[in-house]
Chain A
Amino acid sequence: MGVLIALGLLIYFPGRKMAREHVNTKTAVSDHPLLCSKCHLYTSENALVSKLLNEDYYSPFNLAISKDGSRLYVVAQEANSLLVVDVEKQQIINKIKVGNQPHTVILSKNGQKAYVSNQWSDNVSVVDLIAAKVVDTLKTGNGPAGLSLSADGQFLYVVNSYASTISLIDLKSGEELKRFTTGNNPTGVNLSPDEKTLLITSRRAIIAPYGEPVVSELTEIDERTQRVTNRHNIESAYMMENVAFTPAGDLAIVSLNRPKNLVPSIQVEQGWMMNYGIAIVEQKKNGRVIQLLLDEPNAFYPDPFGIAITPDGKKAFVSSSGVNCISVVNIDSIRSLISKSTTEELNSLSNNLGISDHYISKRITTGSDPKGLVISHDGKRLYVAEQLEDKIAIINSETFDKIGSIDLNGPKRITVNRTGRRLFNNSGHTFQNQFSCYTCHPDMHEDGLVYNMAAKDMGRNLTNTQSLREIHHTPPYKWNGKNQTVYKQDGIRFSTVLTRTEQFNYPDLDAITAYILTGIQYPPNLQFNPSGVLTKSQQQGKKIFERKTDNYGAAIPVNNRCITCHNPPYYTNLKLADVGTLAASDDSTQFDTPHLNNIYASAPYLHDGRAATLEEIWTKYGQTDKHGKVNDLTKIQLNDLIDFLKSLRAPRYEKKSTK
């Protein structure tokens, strides 16, 4: 017995010491709880373990309502389904399978059909609501999101969010008739009450060199001529998720973020990092676009998403996903403010954190992550899709009281991963709730902006936001590669220099790490590599990517071959490198080799976002051949190389193709 105890102690103490050292190394702190399961279990990618630990939630995203108000049609994003909800009984009466990652639902003019955009399937499901089944599938562009019917109901406008286009589909033939270019990463679309004008919002800003103003496009289409008639430049704004018109049609209201990426990120106080608001777009000749904040001097309302306007045109409801809140906007107060202010005065109001007192009547608290909104046709009820609650909140649109909640009966267990996602989407861990992880990493990706992180002196360390999709196997993190783990990345320094409030407690840090490492997936690369079979150009590009000699037959040094540093399956060797991109304002001398899957969706490129396109990496910024040997390539070869790079996608899709 004594021997056994002695043996046990011999194993226990050195083992514990080793474990402590291991955890300290991974977390960069010395007091993280010593529980193996916190990391090794919750970040496991083993299929069985993952199945046991996780749940299949519904995650309601957008919704529509029948004319008589008896049915809600709810897009269940994670269940790839359209849920038909009996409002009276507050229960799901049909669950109709649609495509992958459904985004938006709208109803036909007679209410007998629903159209559901499937963002990860590149199509729209046509659902017969009487038969409760999908009766047709319409092919779209890449990443279909927002939907709108034409004035006569004969055509469907589909916003292709990844391709930055909008498709016009003839509903009789199911054929796409036209495709218009839009702003960068469009999502929302709405038809004016006079059925003449379509407005399409975009989320990402137009790519521009750092220092140029952030500008995003609001695209205007004349529905009668089916032509683009205007491209409004919305200045100092991005992430314009949705648009709604007042019933009178005099105003359109757009949700938006106002980033401060050009200002050194030295504080959070006084709205120094990110602001949120709405754009008021006057619908008349030479109409102005006025931006007003939803925020207050000491309170911020991140990630505005849905907008719904009451039938009397008096109130607009705006969901702020990052702070679990609906802001009630008094539209008459806004009209009054606009009418008595000069354009110059209105411009100065766009940064005024106090002015919201004049037009925000109420803040309504909701469940986790409120997204899409819909108002009953009698205007009495507001329905809110609480994405991470698996519930639909019912709010009295006159008293603003929450009068009910429809439980979609998703899993009751809130998993560690789900907790992590809630933390990711919520701004509660930043000072005064000024931003959430989601704010700069929308869709858990990146926002296309370059920030002045000002690590040492202001004006230094320009940082291109990086995607968080499937980063489990691609440490280190940050462009300077200083963080070997997500635990360290989101630890004390993160709270000191970025969120500037209390750091995550360890259960929360474990949960958000588990979510980031295992809960975020790449969308399929349907635009450039839908089947795994490369085009001829991509095949040529692959050869260039893997080549060992240049066009003149000379051997390319191993360290200057693409494949050496960007080796599959993640296309990174996980090391730092100097590729000749060091700027005078950089503190680091080498940069992390980024992973390249789905790289087509991550413009701009390089650590400081200086390259607007992949091509610019080797033309404008690759003249020294330090970032791979490329200057011998012909234009056609460079195009092939870029075509190949755009084809790269997540390893799990490659595995499926191989099977």
Chain B
Amino acid sequence: MNGMLIFTRSAVKMQNINYITGLSWRYSPKTQIVAIDPDKKDSTVQILSEDFFSARNPQISYDGNFMLFTAQRKPNDPWQIWEMNLRNFTSRQVISSNENCIDPAYLPGDKLVFSKLDLNDTCKGGYSLYTCQLDGSSIHRITFNPHSYFASSLLKDGRILTISRQVYPDNGVQKLMVLRPDGTKCDIFYELTEGSTLLSQATETANGKLIFIEKTQSLATGGSLVSIRYNRPLHSRDNLSSGIVGEFLSVSKQISGKLIVSYRKSDADRYALYEFDPEKKILGNVIYENSGYDILESVVVEKQEIPKKLPSEVDTAVKTGQLLCQDINVIKDQSQSRSIASQLSRIEVLGIDSILGVVKAEQDGSFYLKIIADKPFRIKTIDSNGKLIQGLSDWIWLRPNERRGCIGCHNDHELAPQNLVPIAVKKLPVSLPIHVMKIVEKKISSE
């Protein structure tokens, strides 16, 4: 199969897109995974997902021999994760769940990450990320926010890059988030402007770019082809398709450096596969088109560089994580930072349904918390008069034994820490929430 082009096609024309749940537009019925030989003219289309009612999201293993995909056996089945051996085209189910499990991506060390619909109290009906072995064992949840996470891919540095959107208490703006495969150090990677939506998994190129499809409201179903630099993702957006009429739906890379995009010129056309030169920003030749189908996404079967296999600091025997903030007065807007510098004195830590505690910041603005792990929380800053200064932060969680540091509250993500000893770490951390911590400690001591 080396060199074959695998793609997903849909006879039903793209319409009625629901970008909030991320489901209907990405997982429509009767989609098929098929393969062609792109080097052969008039190559016959080989249907790889014949045994399935609908299949999507093909992902090729690093050795080029296997393919993870998402599929429904029968019309009303939940979407599940499968793996196909590309040498003999046999498939086996990797994940078996009553809920939808979608968007798999290979991880180094014979593992994968995927999104699963979670209906528990902390997730509030969003899709959480899970990891497991390729044989389906050792399933671990790695995100714990009331967010939905979709379309994960793996960066060369070994971290998971994923589309995230807050679902509780309000629907938030989509972001590209990055986290380690053990769920630690989750942080923002790229933020969209209000009204924009990410349509595709991000693909990382050999020259340090991340390329994905970003939709603005003016476009019907597709979006623009956008790149950001890995080295400075928050401030390097480049619309690669700004001079091109039409819409893009997905993008994938080839080892040659060229991209394959799913593109259509107008509403009247179907999405087809084209070459795209990201350096020259030129749409190239059509690779595959079929007037009976929209081509939703594609991937080339070839061996790929294995991303770094990151070590894990998670220790499930430990029930808490630790958070250090260097100075709550450091905020993104430096002018505002100066004006309120002397006023901030406390933080309020809020869980999903309750206040976890109010903690006094040290004289230098630092605080040091030990918080029950795998529970989401948010922080707001309060001045000495009890007045709210900075509203709620994004949701944060800490994994068991995770230790995280931040420079300030709502801080500039491009700021490195000052080299100084925060007063807060000269003392023991403040444990939150107090009542739960007491119970945990009591249990440990009784053991």
Mask for B410-439, Cβ within 8 A of A = 1, else 0?
A: 001111111111100111110000000000
Q: Restricting to B396-417, which residues have a CB under 8 Å from any CB of A?
A: 403-405, 407, 412-417
CB closest residue in chain B, given A495 = B311
- How far is it, in angstroms, between the C-alpha of A348 and the C-alpha of B333 when the chains are bound? 12
Residues of A within 8 A of B271 (CB): none
Whether a CB of chain B sits under 8 angstroms from the CB of A336 is no
Whether a CB of chain A sits under 8 angstroms from the CB of B343 is no
Whether a CB of chain A sits under 8 angstroms from the CB of B28 is no
Mask for A248-273, Cβ within 8 A of B = 1, else 0?
A: 00000000001111111011011110
Residues of B within 8 A of A457 (CB): 322, 425, 428-429
Do B414 and A352 touch across chains, with their CB atoms under 8 A apart?
yes
Do B403 and A266 touch across chains, with their CB atoms under 8 A apart?
yes
Known contacts A297-B233, A501-B158; A272/B405 CB under 8 A: yes
Whether a CB of chain B sits under 8 angstroms from the CB of A419 is no
- How far is it, in angstroms, between the C-alpha of A211 and the C-alpha of B420 when the chains are bound? 7
Do B232 and A296 touch across chains, with their CB atoms under 8 A apart?
yes
Do B421 and A211 touch across chains, with their CB atoms under 8 A apart?
yes
CB closest residue in chain A, given B185 = A269
Whether a CB of chain B sits under 8 angstroms from the CB of A596 is no
Mask for B148-180, Cβ within 8 A of A = 1, else 0?
A: 000000000110000000000000000000000
CB within 8 A of A262: which of B231, B310, B420? B420
Residues of B within 8 A of A298 (CB): 157, 230-233
CB within 8 A of A260: which of B233, B313, B412, B419? B419
Residues of A within 8 A of B158 (CB): 501-502
Known contacts A267-B404, A431-B157, A501-B158; A459/B415 CB under 8 A: no
CB within 8 A of B419: which of A259, A299, A354, A495? A259
- Minimum distance in angstroms from A503 CB to a CB of chain B: 6
Do B420 and A267 touch across chains, with their CB atoms under 8 A apart?
no
Known contacts A267-B403, A298-B233, A299-B231; A213/B419 CB under 8 A: yes
Whether a CB of chain B sits under 8 angstroms from the CB of A396 is no
Do B417 and A263 touch across chains, with their CB atoms under 8 A apart?
yes
Residues of B within 8 A of A262 (CB): 419-421
Do B421 and A500 touch across chains, with their CB atoms under 8 A apart?
no
CB within 8 A of B324: which of A354, A355, A357, A458? A458
Whether a CB of chain B sits under 8 angstroms from the CB of A497 is yes
CB within 8 A of A272: which of B308, B368, B416? B416
Do A266 and B232 touch across chains, with their CB atoms under 8 A apart?
no
Whether a CB of chain B sits under 8 angstroms from the CB of A59 is no
Residues of B within 8 A of A458 (CB): 322, 324, 368, 403, 425, 429
Do B311 and A496 touch across chains, with their CB atoms under 8 A apart?
yes
- How far is it, in angstroms, between the C-alpha of A352 and the C-alpha of B418 when the chains are bound? 10
Do B322 and A500 touch across chains, with their CB atoms under 8 A apart?
no
Known contacts A299-B231, A497-B313, A502-B311; A271/B185 CB under 8 A: no
Interface of B is mostly: loop
- Minimum distance in angstroms from A291 CB to a CB of chain B: 12
Whether a CB of chain B sits under 8 angstroms from the CB of A353 is yes
Known contacts A213-B419, A458-B324; A266/B405 CB under 8 A: yes
Whether a CB of chain B sits under 8 angstroms from the CB of A637 is no
Whether a CB of chain B sits under 8 angstroms from the CB of A236 is yes
Q: Restricting to B302-318, which residues have a CB under 8 Å from any CB of A?
A: 308-313
- Minimum distance in angstroms from A85 CB to a CB of chain B: 33
Whether a CB of chain A sits under 8 angstroms from the CB of B334 is yes
Whether a CB of chain A sits under 8 angstroms from the CB of B192 is no
- Minimum distance in angstroms from A265 CB to a CB of chain B: 9
Known contacts A297-B233, A298-B233, A497-B313; A264/B425 CB under 8 A: yes
- Minimum distance in angstroms from B441 CB to a CB of chain A: 15
- How far is it, in angstroms, between the C-alpha of A303 and the C-alpha of B435 when the chains are bound? 48
Residues of A within 8 A of B334 (CB): 345, 348
Residues of A within 8 A of B232 (CB): 296-298, 354, 357
CB closest residue in chain B, given A459 = B425
Whether a CB of chain B sits under 8 angstroms from the CB of A214 is yes
- Minimum distance in angstroms from A615 CB to a CB of chain B: 26
Whether a CB of chain A sits under 8 angstroms from the CB of B37 is no
Known contacts A259-B419, A267-B404, A452-B421; A502/B309 CB under 8 A: yes
Do A354 and B312 touch across chains, with their CB atoms under 8 A apart?
no
Residues of A within 8 A of B108 (CB): 502
Residues of B within 8 A of A259 (CB): 419
Whether a CB of chain A sits under 8 angstroms from the CB of B373 is no
- How far is it, in angstroms, between the C-alpha of A500 and the C-alpha of B420 when the chains are bound? 22
CB closest residue in chain A, given B307 = A502
- How far is it, in angstroms, between the C-alpha of A262 and the C-alpha of B417 when the chains are bound? 10
Do A500 and B310 touch across chains, with their CB atoms under 8 A apart?
yes
- How far is it, in angstroms, between the C-alpha of A299 and the C-alpha of B334 when the chains are bound? 24
CB closest residue in chain B, given A454 = B403
Whether a CB of chain A sits under 8 angstroms from the CB of B383 is no
- Minimum distance in angstroms from B333 CB to a CB of chain A: 12
Known contacts A458-B429, A501-B308, A501-B310; A267/B185 CB under 8 A: yes
- How far is it, in angstroms, between the C-alpha of A271 and the C-alpha of B413 when the chains are bound? 10
Known contacts A267-B185, A354-B232, A458-B429; A258/B421 CB under 8 A: no
Do B417 and A351 touch across chains, with their CB atoms under 8 A apart?
yes
Whether a CB of chain A sits under 8 angstroms from the CB of B289 is no
CB closest residue in chain B, given A267 = B405
Do B415 and A353 touch across chains, with their CB atoms under 8 A apart?
yes
Mask for A268-291, Cβ within 8 A of B = 1, else 0?
A: 011110010000000000000000
Residues of A within 8 A of B235 (CB): 354, 357
- Minimum distance in angstroms from A87 CB to a CB of chain B: 32
Whether a CB of chain A sits under 8 angstroms from the CB of B241 is no
Whether a CB of chain A sits under 8 angstroms from the CB of B187 is yes
Do B231 and A263 touch across chains, with their CB atoms under 8 A apart?
no
Whether a CB of chain B sits under 8 angstroms from the CB of A134 is no
- Minimum distance in angstroms from A574 CB to a CB of chain B: 29
Whether a CB of chain B sits under 8 angstroms from the CB of A242 is no
Do A496 and B312 touch across chains, with their CB atoms under 8 A apart?
yes
CB within 8 A of B234: which of A263, A297, A454, A495? A297
- How far is it, in angstroms, between the C-alpha of A345 and the C-alpha of B126 when the chains are bound? 42
Mask for B194-234, Cβ within 8 A of A = 1, else 0?
A: 00000000000000000000000000000000000011111
Whether a CB of chain A sits under 8 angstroms from the CB of B326 is yes
Residues of A within 8 A of B414 (CB): 297, 352-355
- How far is it, in angstroms, between the C-alpha of A502 and the C-alpha of B159 when the chains are bound? 11
- How far is it, in angstroms, between the C-alpha of A525 and the C-alpha of B429 when the chains are bound? 46
Residues of A within 8 A of B405 (CB): 263-264, 266-267, 270, 272
- How far is it, in angstroms, between the C-alpha of A513 and the C-alpha of B53 when the chains are bound? 55
Known contacts A297-B232, A297-B233, A452-B421; A502/B185 CB under 8 A: no
CB within 8 A of A296: which of B231, B313, B368? B231
- Minimum distance in angstroms from B247 CB to a CB of chain A: 30
- How far is it, in angstroms, between the C-alpha of A497 and the C-alpha of B414 when the chains are bound? 23
- Minimum distance in angstroms from A243 CB to a CB of chain B: 22
Do B415 and A502 touch across chains, with their CB atoms under 8 A apart?
no
Whether a CB of chain B sits under 8 angstroms from the CB of A72 is no
Mask for A334-369, Cβ within 8 A of B = 1, else 0?
A: 000000000001001001111101000000000000
- How far is it, in angstroms, between the C-alpha of A214 and the C-alpha of B310 when the chains are bound? 31
Q: Give the interface of A toward B (CB within 8 A).
A: 210-211, 213-214, 236, 258-264, 266-267, 269-272, 275, 293, 295-299, 345, 348, 351-355, 357, 431-432, 452, 454, 457-459, 492, 495-497, 500-503
18 A-B interface contacts by CB (under 8 A): A210-B421, A211-B421, A259-B419, A260-B416, A263-B326, A263-B417, A263-B419, A269-B185, A270-B416, A270-B417, A298-B232, A355-B414, A452-B421, A454-B425, A457-B425, A495-B311, A496-B313, A502-B311
Closest 8 CB pairs of A and B: A459-B425, A271-B416, A354-B414, A266-B403, A496-B311, A296-B231, A299-B231, A502-B308
Q: Give the interface of B toward A (CB within 8 A).
A: 108, 157-158, 185, 187, 230-236, 308-313, 322, 324, 326, 334, 368, 403-405, 407, 412-422, 425-429
Known pairs A263-B417, A297-B233, A457-B429 / 12 extra A-B pairs, C-beta < 8 Å: A262-B419, A263-B422, A264-B405, A269-B185, A272-B416, A296-B232, A297-B232, A297-B413, A458-B324, A458-B425, A492-B311, A500-B310
